[in-house]
Amino acid sequence: MPVARPEPQEPRVIAHLDLDCFYVQVEQRRNPALRGQPTAVVQYNDWKGGGLIAVSYEARKFGVKRSMRGDEAKNVCPGINLVQVPVSRDKADLNVYRNAGSEVVAILSTKGKCERASIDEVYLDLTDAAKEMLLESPPESSEFTFEEATKSNILDLPSDVGDREENVKAWLCRADANYQDKLLACGAVLVAQLRVKVLEETQFTCSAGIAHNKMLAKLVSGMHKPAQQTVVPSSSVQDFLASLPVKKMKQLGGKLGSSLQDDLGVKTVGDLLGFTEEKLQEYYGVNTGTWLWKTARGFSGEEVEDRLLPKSHGCGKTFPGPKALKNHSSVKSWLDKLCEELSERIQSDLSCNKRVAQTLTLHARASKENECNSMKKFPSKSCPLRYGTGKIQEDAMKLFESGLHDFWGSRSARWSITSLSVTASKIFDIPSGTNSILKYIKGPSSNASTAILDSSSTPELTPFVGNNLYMTPVHEEQCEPSSIKEECDNSISATQCRLIEGKGAPKKLSKVQGTGSILKFLSQSQPAQHEKRNFDGLICSHQGPESSSGASVAEQHGRDNINTAVDHSSGSGDTWMLNVEDIDPDVVGELPLEIQREIQGWIRPSKQATPKKRGSTISSYFSPARR
């Protein structure tokens, strides 16, 4: 259940950025002839033209949706370009998208504390940068403010008035604004600058929300898409939340949101204002009650984590209909492939980023043939992660056997598996100065540590100096060593991620000079500038589509084959022993769509409403003239 975190005394400026139709943009960059064209990325499949996983805004105008198959999309939009996702080991290979996301993260992280939230999303804490701007060059002091910033959507301002940009400019430059709003105005300018920079350097457009906390920034970042940003002044928070359906709120998408609706008659976040904190605590306990009370008022103390790398790695595949796996050897053969990829990715994370994953988890979905209750959940299982492909494969198979036993008992019966995935989580940084991961893991003060590492697979560790050999990779939740358990927690806390000295310090701010606008950029014919780059060691390499390693992020994995007829609410009752609040969205994103949908039903609100057309810069970007 959600827990309220103490709010900081000082006002903050937080941004949430999300790339527009991300996989499509990556494909458009690879093949500029696709720019301005109705395009969708499809996951390889020979059934009905494959499943769509990303849809361009041009195609959306024809009614093409992510839930469609390729053939369906062609029916509603005959001119659509369908691009196949790269395939490796008979499954989607998302490295090209992961690496493209890393390019964007590297640019965004130059302005403040940066948290990579998914393959195409980032939170930024721009408080320091905004304060610096306010001191040195506040928007009202400049003769002209950064042009792209004047295209912002400000929740307080009507969007359909005549000279909208003049109004926005006036809002950004108000001399009589309170301190919070002045900081937000600086935040809007900073984010506009960053978005232009991202476009110039990567060719990608993104949308953003700018607010005083993560919750509000995320809620509005998808409100005006594509290539736009939305600002939430504190004065607009109550009105905004008043009509916001509770299910749209982070953490209210699942059971808690349903209970609010069904048990308390709360339909919108504003409706929560009718309940005292005590009343909400009575219903949902002290922590959640307080969290609800604060949420209703737009308060959220959640901090932006200093994390540019994924919290977890995962690989999955679905086997719908006749493709379902029905015997141990086919399960083993697929698990071997998934584990091979997982192993490559954690090895790469280890050598590039000096990070170790500790928990291996297997998720599967099964149906029992000839039974009414054919969708009984296959329990997720986890165990300590041992490095080395063979060991991971061996352990994954054991996890499968254990899950199958729980699922079906000891009777021999016909079963079929419709999806499989493996994830590596509880990743921590190895403190610099530690030479032996093995020793580090097995140190006396780290008896909670569970990873069993093959030291031969960790050749590139820094020599040990000093006595931080046993610096603790603290575990709040402890796994039983060498045992299989039902999955209960995929998260790793922020403190665990900050073991490396100095990691939390925001980077020096670099000033963006002059004025600029995405519109302007787009009107010039700019050559592609997406050469592979190395960003201060954050990313070791940007591999091409054929590569299978890299500092990758766990992300929206999408469908591998099909299953569009999944009941979104089906995840509410459960044999899965998951602590919903602790589920790492990155892990979820890596899983096959069936499982993703089930879990996302509990942990995150559905997508924002259809974007409004606002005649903004994106139209130029995707227009045929741009090609």
Point out which residues bind ligand TTP (CB under 6 A).
18-23, 53-54, 119-120, 225-226, 556-558, 593
* 303 given a catalytic annotation: no
**According to the binding rule CB under 5 A, does residue 121 interact with Ca ion?**
yes
Q: Which does 241 bind (CB under 5 to 8 A by kind): Ca ion, ligand TTP, none?
A: none
Strands (E), 202-321: 206-211, 229-231, 313-318
Which single residue is written with the structure tokens 């964007």?
Answer: 104
Task: State which residue, 23 or 428, has the beta carbon closest to Ca ion.
Answer: 23
Q: Which does 119 bind (CB under 5 to 8 A by kind): Ca ion, ligand TTP, none?
A: ligand TTP
Q: What is the Cβ-side half-sphere exposure of residue 251, based on CA atoms within 13 angstroms?
A: 19
Task: State which residue, 236 or 556, has the beta carbon closest to ligand TTP.
Answer: 556
> Rounded to the nearest whole angstrom, what is the least distance from the CB of residue 57 to ligand TTP in the complex?
7
Q: Which does 188 bind (CB under 5 to 8 A by kind): ligand TTP, Ca ion, none?
A: none
Cα–Cα distance measured from residue 432 to residue 244, given in angstroms and rounded to the nearest whole number: 46
Give the active site residue among 58, 103, 115, 121. 121
Closest CB to ligand TTP: residue number: 558
Cα–Cα distance measured from residue 441 to residue 463, given in angstroms and rounded to the nearest whole number: 15
**For Ca ion, which stretch binds (CB under 5 A), given 10-18, 35-43, 337-345, 580-588?**
10-18
Cα–Cα distance measured from residue 219 to residue 607, given in angstroms and rounded to the nearest whole number: 10
> Rounded to the nearest whole angstrom, what is the least distance from the CB of residue 562 to ligand TTP in the complex?
12
**Total residues binding Ca ion (CB under 5 A):** 5
Polymer length of the chain: 627
Helix (H) or strand (E) holding 53: strand 51-55
CB atoms within 10 A of CB 125: 22
> Rounded to the nearest whole angstrom, what is the least distance from the CB of residue 14 to ligand TTP in the complex?
19
DSSP designation for 7: P
> Rounded to the nearest whole angstrom, what is the least distance from the CB of residue 23 to ligand TTP in the complex?
4
| Residues near 530 by beta carbon (within 8 Å), at least 6 away in sequence | 29, 103, 201, 202, 203
Paired tokens of 477? 């939740």
Task: State which residue, 272 or 588, has the beta carbon closest to ligand TTP.
Answer: 588
Cα–Cα distance measured from residue 162 to residue 34, given in angstroms and rounded to the nearest whole number: 34
Judge contact between 190 and 110, C-beta under 8 A: no
Closest CA to 518 of 204, 185, 97, 221: 204
**According to the binding rule CB under 5 A, does residue 18 interact with Ca ion?**
yes
DSSP designation for 307: B
Q: Which does 23 bind (CB under 5 to 8 A by kind): Ca ion, ligand TTP, none?
A: ligand TTP
Paired tokens of 463? 């020599």
Task: State which residue, 313 or 604, has the beta carbon closest to Ca ion.
Answer: 604
> Rounded to the nearest whole angstrom, what is the least distance from the CB of residue 41 to ligand TTP in the complex?
7
> Rounded to the nearest whole angstrom, what is the least distance from the CB of residue 479 to ligand TTP in the complex?
30
Binding mask 363-402 for Ca ion (x = CB under 5 A): ----------------------------------------
Cα–Cα distance measured from residue 132 to residue 7, given in angstroms and rounded to the nearest whole number: 22
Per CB under 5 A, the list member of 103, 120, 489, 590 interacting with Ca ion is 120
Q: Which residues bind Ca ion (CB under 5 A)?
A: 18-19, 22, 120-121
Positions marked active-site: 121
